[in-house]
Amino acid sequence: MKKLLEISLGVVTSVGGFLETGSIATSAQAGAAYGFSLIWAVILGTGCLIFLVEMSGRFAIASHHTIADGIRDRFGSNFFILAFVVISVVNLMVLAAEIGGVTLALQFLTGWSFQWWAVPVAFAAWLLLWRGTFGTIEKGVSSLGLIALSFVVAMFVMGPPWREVARGAIPSLPAKDGWHYAFIAVSILGATISNYLFFFYSSGAIEEKWDKSYFGVNKITAAFGMAFGGALSVAIIVLAAVVYSSHGIDDIEGYEQIAMILTPALGRWGIYIFSFSLLITCFGAALELSLAQAYITAQGFGWNWSEDAKPKTDPAFTLVYTAVIAIAVIPITAGLDPLKVTIFSMAITAISLPLGVIPFLFLMNDKALVGDHTNGWIGNAVVLFIIGLAFALAIVTVPLQIWGG
Amino acid sequence: MIAQARMEGVVPTMFSGPALQRCNAEISSLAVDLKNAQLSVAQRTALSDLPGLLVEAEEASSRKDGPQTERVILALRRTRGSLDPAGKIP
C-alpha cells in the first residue's frame, strides 16, 4: 500500500514537473507554425527521457551514488569539471527562463510588468529552498502543477481532427521553411531531455533513501510520469495548431499569444488557468534547477549536501543555490524578453546533451557500481541511440540558431 | 486576437492592456526599422496608421466598447491588407 502511494505520488510529481516554460513555449511555437507535424519530436524526446530517468534512479538505488558522484569517480576530475562548467552555464540560462515564466504569469494576472516581479519571485524561490524540505518542494509544488492537465481537457473540448493528430506522430518533412522546422524540433528535444533532470532525479532517490525494494517504483514512476508529462506537451501542440490557425497566426511573437491558448476552450477561465499553470510549473522547475545545480556542485566537490538538512550543516550547498538564483534573476530584472531567453536556453540545452548522456553508457555497465543491475542490450542500444542523437543535436544547434531561430 | 478576446470579455484589461501596449511598442520599432525600406505610398500610410490604431484598440477594448473595438479590428485587418497585398503575412 505504501509503495502504491509512493508510485502515485511519484507519477503525479513527474507529470506536474514535466511541463515548464520551455516545453510550453516550444510546443506552442511548433503547433502554431507546423500544425500537428512536430508531435513526433515530443514523443521521441519523451521516450529518450523515460529511459534516462529510469537509469538515473536505478543507478542511485544500486550504487547508493548520484549521477554526479558517478561521473566524478568513473571519469575523473578533468571530465567532471568540463561537464560541470557546461551544464552549469546551461542550468543558469534555463533557470533565468523559468524565473521569466513565473514573472510573466504574474504579469498576466496582475497587469504589472514582469520585470517588477523578478526579484520577489527569486526571493520566494530562495526562501522555499532555505526553509523547505525535499518533500515539500518535490511533492508539494509539483503536485500543484497538475493544474496543467487543463491543457488536455481543453484539447478534448476543442475536438481536433484526431486522424491528423495521429499522423503528426510520424516524422515528416515540412512543406515550408525547413531550417525553422528543424530549429523548433531541436528546441523541443532540448526542452524535453534536460541534463539537470538526471542529476535531480538521482539525488532525489538518495534524499528519499530509496533502497533495493524501489526498483519497481522507479521504473513505473519514470515510465508513467514522463509519458503523462509528454502527453501534456502534445496537448499544447494540438491546441496551438487548432487555436492559432483559426486566427491566421503562424509565428509566436510573445508569451501573450501563448497565454490565449486555453481561452477558446475554457472561456474567461482560460487566461487564469493558463497563468496559474505557467506560474506553478515554472516555479517548480526553478526550484528543481536551483537544487540540481547545488547537488551537482556539492557532490562534485565533496561537500555536505541535503535539502532536508539545516542550512548551517551544509552551508556551501546553500550558498550555491543562493548564488545561482541571484545570478539567474539578472537578465529578467534587466528586461530581457523571457520568451527569447526560453527559446535560446532550450537550444543550448541541446548543445550540452552529450556531456550528460555519454556517462550513462559507462556508468550503467559498470558492475563495480551497479552490480547485477547493469543495462541489458535494449538499454544500451537506447543509450547509444540517444548519444548519437545528442551529438547530432549539438552539432546542428548553432547553425539552426543562426538560420532557423 | 487579444483585442477581440477583450471585446468578447474573455480576458481582463490587466492582461490585454499591457499585451496591446507591448504590441504597439514592437510595431513602432518595426516601423522605424522599415523607414528606409522600399514601400509604396499606401504601405507607408498604413504603417504610420498602425500605432494609432493599436492605441485605439487598447482603449476601446478596455472601455468594453464592442462596436468601436470591432471597427478598429476591421481597420487593423485593412491595414494588414495594405501592408501585405500579396497576403504573405498570415
SS3 category, A314: coil
* Residue closest to A322 by CA, chosen among A332, A311, A333: A311
pLDDT value, residue A40: 96
| CA A348/CA A304 separation, integer angstroms | 30
DSSP A140-157: IIHHHGGGGGHHHHHHHH
pLDDT value, residue A296: 94
| CA A121/CA A124 separation, integer angstroms | 5
Dihedral, A120, A121, A122, A124 alpha carbons, nearest 10: 80
- pLDDT class of A248 with cuts at 50, 70, 90: confident
Of residues A178 and A360, the one with the higher pLDDT is: A360
Is B22's CB within 8 Å of A256's CB? Answer: yes
B68-89 pLDDT per residue, tens: 877 887 888 787 777 766 554 4
**Whole-number Cα distances in Å, A370 to A89, A185, A355, A358:** 30, 34, 21, 17
Is A271's CB within 8 Å of B13's CB? Answer: no
pLDDT value, residue A397: 75
- pLDDT class of B60 with cuts at 50, 70, 90: confident
* Residue closest to A270 by CA, chosen among A108, A35, A102: A108
Facing B1 at nearest CB: one of A113, A260, A271:
A260
- pLDDT class of A265 with cuts at 50, 70, 90: very high
A337-357 pLDDT per residue, tens: 888 888 788 778 878 888 899
Per DSSP, helices labelled H in B1-90 are 2-7, 13-33, 41-62, 66-83
Residue A404 has pLDDT above 70, yes or no: no
- pLDDT class of A392 with cuts at 50, 70, 90: confident
Of residues B31 and A320, the one with the higher pLDDT is: A320
- pLDDT class of A1 with cuts at 50, 70, 90: low
Please calculate the CA angle A335-A340-A341 and round it to the nearest 5 degrees: 70
Query: A274: distance to nearest CA of chain B, Å?
Result: 12
Residue B24 has pLDDT above 70, yes or no: yes
| CA B72/CA B54 separation, integer angstroms | 8
A18, with CB counted inside 10 A (0-12, 13-18, 19+), is buried
Q: Is residue A160 a contact partner of residue A303, using CB atoms and an 8 Å limit? A: no
Report pTM: 0.88
Q: Which amino acid is at A59?
A: F
Question: Which residues of A have a CB under 8 Å from any CB of B?
Answer: 107-111, 113, 247-251, 253-254, 256-257, 259-260, 263, 267-268, 270-271
- pLDDT class of A13 with cuts at 50, 70, 90: low
pLDDT value, residue A18: 78
- Length of chain B equals 90
Longest dimension (CA), chain B: 40
Of residues A264 and B4, the one with the higher pLDDT is: A264
ipTM of the complex: 0.74
**Separation of CA A176 from chain center:** 29
Query: A331: distance to nearest CA of chain B, Å?
Result: 18
A138-158 pLDDT per residue, tens: 777 777 878 888 999 999 999
Question: Which residues of B have a CB under 8 Å from any CB of A?
Answer: 1-2, 5, 9-15, 17-19, 22-23, 26, 90
A28-70 pLDDT per residue, tens: 999 999 999 999 999 999 999 999 999 999 999 999 999 999 9
Residue A401 has pLDDT above 70, yes or no: no
DSSP A239-251: HHHHHHHTTT--S
pLDDT value, residue A262: 95
Is B14's CB within 8 Å of A111's CB? Answer: yes
Instruction: List, in order of start, the domains of chain A with CATH numbers.
Output: 2-403 (1.20.1740.10)
Query: A104: distance to nearest CA of chain B, Å?
Result: 10
Computed over every residue of chain A, the mean pLDDT equals 89
| CA A220/CA A198 separation, integer angstroms | 16
